[in-house]
Amino acid sequence: MPTRHRHREHHRTDRIGWLRAAVLGANDGIVSTASLVIGVAAAGVSPREILVTGVAGLVAGAMSMAAGEYVSVHSQADTEQADLAQETIEIKTSPEAELRELTAIYVGRGLEYPLAVQVATQLMAHDALGAHARDELGITDTLSARPVQAALSSAASFSVGAALPLAVTAVLPAAGLIPWVSGASLVFLVLLGAIAARAGGASPLVGALRVGFWGALAMAATAGVGALFGATG
């Protein structure tokens, strides 16, 4: 009997859950904290007040990101579980209808009807719920919602991202704070965009430019607001 060698392939879809949360958290940490520091600095407050505001923004932002991701992803997980529960009932009460439904899916994907019936029959005999979850509902173990993982990834990455502009704020004098924080944060954002794009299999240049553009826009807008209120306060 011939030996079967399994062909190993490395795909990036298993990174979607944690990569999305990590990139979103780090990007938000850099942009929001840098913008907060720049806006407060533009208003003319003391260096100590700028740093305290930045630290408060880090803590509040990390908790907000964790709570928001957990609630959002948990809602997705609840929906998935409800769909799976409904599918389980339908498989038990109407197996013939579910077989026809699965067969129609495979026919729509290009299989001849007799082969589609055979494939659907064998898959339902092996794991009916798994076949319907994957091919009818689009739910897989790789892409399923993981609330705790998303929450922890977001909070940790936000904290790391926010710590970067805060470190610049802590070591530099107030006189050149705005240009230094702006420049350093843009460098951080460009590197983050390039690394995230590369990890996801996309163009690092496009990812860097996209993240850098929106980060620069956010910091410019916040600096303008800070300068406006500082001048009129």
Q: Report pLDDT digits (tens) over 134-148.
A: 888 777 765 566 778
Percentage of residues of the chain with pLDDT beyond 70: 85
Q: What pLDDT was estimated at residue 60?
A: 92
Is residue 109 one of the residues assigned to a domain?
no
pLDDT band at 233 (very low <50, low <70, confident <90, very high): very low
State yes or no: pLDDT of 12 exceeds 70. no
Is residue 110 one of the residues assigned to a domain?
no
Q: What pLDDT was estimated at residue 25?
A: 82
Q: Rg of the chain's alpha carbons, rounded to an integer?
A: 25
- Selection from 78, 55, 65, 215 nearest residue 153 by Cα: 65
C-alpha angle 29-214-149 in degrees, rounded to nearest 5: 40
- With a CB cutoff of 8 Å and minimum separation 6, the contacts of 49 are 40
Is residue 179 one of the residues assigned to a domain?
yes
Which tokens in the block code for residue 48? 């100590």
Q: What pLDDT was estimated at residue 11?
A: 46
Q: Span 157-168, mean pLDDT?
A: 91
Average pLDDT in the chain? 81
Q: Span 197-217, mean pLDDT?
A: 81
pLDDT band at 56 (very low <50, low <70, confident <90, very high): very high
State yes or no: pLDDT of 7 exceeds 50. no
Dihedral angle over CA of 90, 75, 127, 11, nearest 10:
150
Q: Span 93-101, mean pLDDT?
A: 88
pTM over 0.75: no
Which stretch of DSSP H or E encloses residue 206? helix 204-232
Q: Span 156-162, mean pLDDT?
A: 91
Supply the range of the domain harboring residue 203. Answer: 16-89+147-227
Is residue 39 one of the residues assigned to a domain?
yes
Is residue 51 one of the residues assigned to a domain?
yes
State yes or no: pLDDT of 33 exceeds 60. yes
d(CA 105, CA 55): 53
Residue with tokens 């011939």: 2
pLDDT band at 215 (very low <50, low <70, confident <90, very high): confident
State yes or no: pLDDT of 16 exceeds 60. no
Q: How many domains does the chain have?
A: 1
d(CA 57, CA 32): 8
Is residue 188 one of the residues assigned to a domain?
yes
Is residue 72 one of the residues assigned to a domain?
yes
Is residue 223 one of the residues assigned to a domain?
yes
Q: Span 152-172, mean pLDDT?
A: 88
Percentage of residues of the chain with pLDDT beyond 90: 9
| pLDDT tens track for 114-134 | 998 998 899 888 888 888 888
State yes or no: pLDDT of 161 exceeds 80. yes
